[in-house]
Chains A and B, each alone.
Chain A
Amino acid sequence: MVKTKSKVIQRDDIVVKFVGDSGDGMQLSGTLFSDTAALAGLDLATFPDYPAEIRAPHNTIAGVSGFQVHVGSKKIETTGDMCDVLVAMNPASLRSNLKWAKQGATIITDEDAFDEAALKKSGYTENPLENDSLSGFNLVKAPITTLTREAVKSLGIDNKSADRSKNMFGLGIVYHLLGLSLESTYEFFNKKFKNKPEVIAANRAVLEAGFNYADTVEALSSVYQVPKAKMEPGRYRNITGNVATAWGFLAASERSGRPLFLGSYPITPATEILIELAKYKSLGAKVFQAEDEIAGITSAIGASYTGSLALTTTSGPGLSLKSEAIGLAVMTELPLVIVNVQRGGPSTGLPTKSEQSDLYQALFGRNGEAPVVVIAASSSANCFYYAYMASKIAMEHMTPVILLTDGYLGNGSQLFRIPKVADLPAINPPIAVANDPDYKPYRRDPATLARKWALPGTEGLRHRVGGLEKEDIYGNVSTDPMNHQKMVDLREAKVQKVADFIPEQEISGDQEGELLVISWGGTQGTVTEAVEEVQKSGKKISHAHFHYIMPLPKNTGELLKRFSKILVCELNSGQFVNYLRMTHPENKYMKYNKVQGLPFTVTELVNVFNATLEEK
């Protein structure tokens, strides 16, 4: 083959998507690519998109697994709408993902995988690599299976084993395409297959073969160059939202001096938090994999009573099962953080897809008047910070806190600037001291209305709590009507008082004007990018992204009044907008919603914002 000189295209950002059959190793390709890009100094965000089945039928659309990575020299807010590079390992993955490829995108396929049977299973009537259906793209038809087998032949590896490394061939092509080094992936092989030198050699050989193939093949008429990102100085790592959540809790435990207890039951897409925390017994974390969701939360309530930073992690249907127990935590006024990594609902719904449709459940899903604090993380990396803040608020205000993230944040990853634990805000739980003559179980701190946390084992503080209504101050069981009224009011006021301790809501863009776009939770990156794009065209548009939902920041009402149009964008049918209608009925609200198990795209939002601005 003749080596061709490729044209070098400079880009601010590139979106690469790896897709294939669910056993093809696409998640690994995506992860290795993001690690390499991060080490090369690029900012990034990733999003894995995998089916609910572990191994859906081979070569079917249902079995397609994907991993999208957005890298760039600019600040990367989203995982990208459409991709510049699509690596499609089989016909089904090409067919289901072609709609996400930009016009002119580079599509890398394994032409060996496009046999008659596979084409048929994916629903193609003719081979798309043979007709002109892909003429608008830069199509690379690589015989990946054949070349992979050849690459490892000299190592004496059989075809079946060789085929397991096919994904590395595609990855090698992508490394070449973006001018990235193979080093960090070599290191990964060395660590991962420490005692299997033949596997290390095979993977290296295939990765190199892919890289060299791209170097020589003419189809790769151009390669991309993305300059290093300008990022705030500091130490960085790549982190997923679920790992960041787990680590935020560990930091809160260390900073508050309260041992961590997690009671949890596996559920997609929240399980990784449980898995992650289970690794850190060395930090004293006690992780209890309970028999069900209810035991997850009630064991945490028991641990909370004894003085632990108590946590339970779940997703939508699991939160439903925990409702009654959240009420117990409200009544006993014990600190507890409930994480809901939201997924598509109702019922089992779309377990591996993302949605923001549990806001009502978080705010209202309990019997009786049962207010809790609700906060929402907005990026994979800031899951760390909001997990930390959820813990701080729960302990300092003696209240359950629901932390909302979602599958998109939880599974997605981002670069994370590593903080020092000592630089995080202090956490001072109101722990009662032994033999305090003034101690009463429901006596409150006037600033927070929090009661004291009296830990079993402490002399002079024996007391009982429970789900029956409690007498003000003394905490004895009471059915007195006026006492009940007072306690209901106090519990509400205690949660509202949290507003005195959280930051005011900020607006990006003009501080007053024509259109205020409102969002909350995991849509922040996409909405920010779309707003900035509209702002660039000179239009008057501002953006407020909410992290604190119950209570809302104190300046919310005043801030909403400054805009003539308010548009609330959410991945549900309009839950936050209705909450605003309820809490701030003086304004008129418009809404834009989507419930497809998919994130917003920047393009769709830009269109919506422009249309909203034009409306009279």
Chain B
Amino acid sequence: MNNQPNLTIERSAVELTKEDFVSDQMVKWCPGCGAHAILSSVANVFPKIGYRKENFMFVSGIGCSSRFPYYVNTYGIHGIHGRAAAIASGVKIANPHLSVWIATGDGDSMAIGGNHFIHIIRRNIDVNIMLFNNQIYGLTKGQYSPTTPMGSVTKTSPQGTIEHPFNPGELVLGAQGTFFARVVDTNPRLMTEVMFEAAKHDGTSVVEILQNCVIFADKTHDVVTNKDVRDDRQIVLRNGEPMIFGKNRDKGIRLNGTRLEVVTLGENGITEDDLLVHDAYQQDPGIHLMLAKMAYPHFPVALGVIRAAMYPTYDDMVEDQITYAKSTSKIKNVDDLLNSGDTWEIK
């Protein structure tokens, strides 16, 4: 288990604060937008990660979420629609000494950018993806997205959508993701904690943030985030701890045969010992997939770090190959190359 943030990134000599990451640009998200809470969490967590402030870099595509780089004082690229993952891949491979963060939405990463999203995950390039999932296209004003629940009435689905939505966790794990976590925009403490874990992870980390769009999909996550019901409809997973949830901490998740099941502690002789103990570091993604897919009304929605498996990263392997090639190749510079193989002198 790795408790240290990436060692190839230079650490700050001085203690940084939230103010070090606040940009001078006016934040132009709608009042009440869930993105404000995410911005605040980032400003809280970046000083804690401990890298030099010049070594942070934000990359984004297009959409409400993708304005993010303008609002944090780091190096940054506000790219084009869907391409943040590809731009960030280039950034990280070219300069592995940067802590690279992507701000993206459900449309940006899973519709137009679906290809880059699955491939950055498959390659396990060490970047951190914050996926703002508000289940709607906000910036273009209210069309359905790849995560909009089936049947939803939106501007482009007046009779309700007839598309099966993606579950981002399922997609990440299907693409051989090594890190997947889920948080809600109404729980900044958990968000900060999970982002720190994401930063620590070597490889592509995806943090899905269930985010509210007050204008076009208000209360889209209300069924799990509403104060009155959330304790019974969310479970915060913590590595090494049994899976307990509920207002009265009396419910749990156990494995019954090949399936997960919600049980009540004390009923039918069920004790804590019968519950699943969360193992985020397990390489086999089987249980992680079942946890990521848990949904209301049959299950609580899983929050926290669902998967954090250790695999070599693409960017580390690039550096290893370069080091090896430099130590073994006879071609040390371009003059060597130009004169290699069959050449002849004409006098």
User: Interface on A for B, CB 8 Å cutoff?
Assistant: 35, 38-39, 41, 184, 231-238, 247, 250-251, 254, 259, 261, 263, 280-284, 286, 288, 290-292, 294-295, 298-308, 310, 324-325, 327-328, 332, 418-421, 456-459, 461-468, 476-477
Give 1 or 0 for each of B1-40: 1 = CB within 8 Å of chain A CB.
Answer: 0000000001000000000000101000000000000000
User: Interface on B for A, CB 8 Å cutoff?
Assistant: 10, 23, 25, 52-55, 57-59, 62, 69-70, 73-80, 83, 86-95, 97-98, 115-116, 119, 318, 321-322, 324-326, 328-329, 331-335, 337-339, 341-347
Q: How far is the CA of A196 from the CA of B197 in the complex (A)?
A: 55
In this complex, what residue of A is CB-closest to B55? A457
Contacts of A39 in B (CB 8 A): 342, 344
Whether the Cβ atoms of A464 and B338 lie closer than 8 Å is no
Contacts of B119 in A (CB 8 A): 290-291, 295
Q: How far is the CA of A284 from the CA of B88 in the complex (A)?
A: 20
Contacts of B95 in A (CB 8 A): 306-307, 456-457
A-B contact pairs, 10 of them (CB 8 A): A35-B342, A235-B346, A254-B334, A280-B331, A295-B83, A295-B115, A298-B116, A301-B79, A421-B338, A466-B69
In this complex, what residue of B is CB-closest to A237? B343
Whether the Cβ atoms of B93 and A464 lie closer than 8 Å is no
Contacts of B53 in A (CB 8 A): 462
* B54 partner, pick from A261, A299, A421, A457, beta carbons under 8 A: A457
Q: How far is the CA of A232 from the CA of B98 in the complex (A)?
A: 49
Contacts of B76 in A (CB 8 A): 463-466
Q: How far is the CA of A420 from the CA of B336 in the complex (A)?
A: 10
Smallest beta-carbon distance A227→chain B, Å: 14
Whether the Cβ atoms of B343 and A235 lie closer than 8 Å is yes
Report if A421-B333 is in contact (Cβ < 8 Å); known contacts: A39-B344, A302-B86, A457-B98: yes
Report if A299-B89 is in contact (Cβ < 8 Å); known contacts: A307-B95, A457-B55: yes
Q: How far is the CA of A286 from the CA of B77 in the complex (A)?
A: 21
Whether the Cβ atoms of B78 and A305 lie closer than 8 Å is no
* A247 partner, pick from B59, B321, B324, B334, beta carbons under 8 A: B334
Q: How far is the CA of A421 from the CA of B55 in the complex (A)?
A: 33
Report if A302-B334 is in contact (Cβ < 8 Å); known contacts: A41-B346, A235-B345, A418-B339: no
Report if A464-B78 is in contact (Cβ < 8 Å); known contacts: A301-B90, A457-B55: yes
List the 3 closest A-B pairs by CB distance, nearest first. Answer: A466-B78, A302-B90, A299-B90
Smallest beta-carbon distance B110→chain A, Å: 15
Contacts of A288 in B (CB 8 A): 89-90, 93
Q: How far is the CA of A299 from the CA of B326 in the complex (A)?
A: 24
Smallest beta-carbon distance B304→chain A, Å: 30
Contacts of A302 in B (CB 8 A): 59, 77, 86-92, 94
Whether the Cβ atoms of B343 and A236 lie closer than 8 Å is yes
In this complex, what residue of B is CB-closest to A38? B344
Contacts of A250 in B (CB 8 A): 334, 337
Whether the Cβ atoms of A286 and B318 lie closer than 8 Å is yes
Greatest chain A CB density within 10 A among B54, B324, B329 is at B54
Whether the Cβ atoms of A237 and B341 lie closer than 8 Å is yes
Q: How far is the CA of A292 from the CA of B97 in the complex (A)?
A: 26
Whether the Cβ atoms of B78 and A303 lie closer than 8 Å is no
Q: How far is the CA of A281 from the CA of B322 in the complex (A)?
A: 5
In this complex, what residue of B is CB-closest to A281? B325
Report if A261-B90 is in contact (Cβ < 8 Å); known contacts: A39-B344, A233-B346, A235-B344: yes
Whether the Cβ atoms of A464 and B83 lie closer than 8 Å is no
In this complex, what residue of B is CB-closest to A458? B54
Report if A236-B346 is in contact (Cβ < 8 Å); known contacts: A291-B115, A295-B119: yes
Q: How far is the CA of A284 from the CA of B77 in the complex (A)?
A: 25
Q: How far is the CA of A281 from the CA of B76 in the complex (A)?
A: 28
Contacts of A292 in B (CB 8 A): 115
Smallest beta-carbon distance B101→chain A, Å: 12
Whether the Cβ atoms of B98 and A456 lie closer than 8 Å is yes
Whether the Cβ atoms of B73 and A303 lie closer than 8 Å is no
Whether the Cβ atoms of A282 and B341 lie closer than 8 Å is no
Contacts of A283 in B (CB 8 A): 331, 333-334, 337
In this complex, what residue of B is CB-closest to A263? B90
Contacts of B325 in A (CB 8 A): 280-282
Contacts of B333 in A (CB 8 A): 254, 283, 421
Q: How far is the CA of A419 from the CA of B343 in the complex (A)?
A: 12
Q: How far is the CA of A465 from the CA of B69 in the complex (A)?
A: 9
* B86 partner, pick from A231, A254, A294, beta carbons under 8 A: A294
In this complex, what residue of A is CB-closest to B322? A281
Contacts of A237 in B (CB 8 A): 338, 341-344
Smallest beta-carbon distance B328→chain A, Å: 8
Greatest chain A CB density within 10 A among B53, B77, B98, B345 is at B77
Smallest beta-carbon distance B80→chain A, Å: 5
Contacts of A247 in B (CB 8 A): 334, 337-338
* A456 partner, pick from B23, B57, B115, B334, beta carbons under 8 A: B57
In this complex, what residue of A is CB-closest to B328? A282
* B90 partner, pick from A38, A280, A310, A324, beta carbons under 8 A: A310
Contacts of B341 in A (CB 8 A): 237
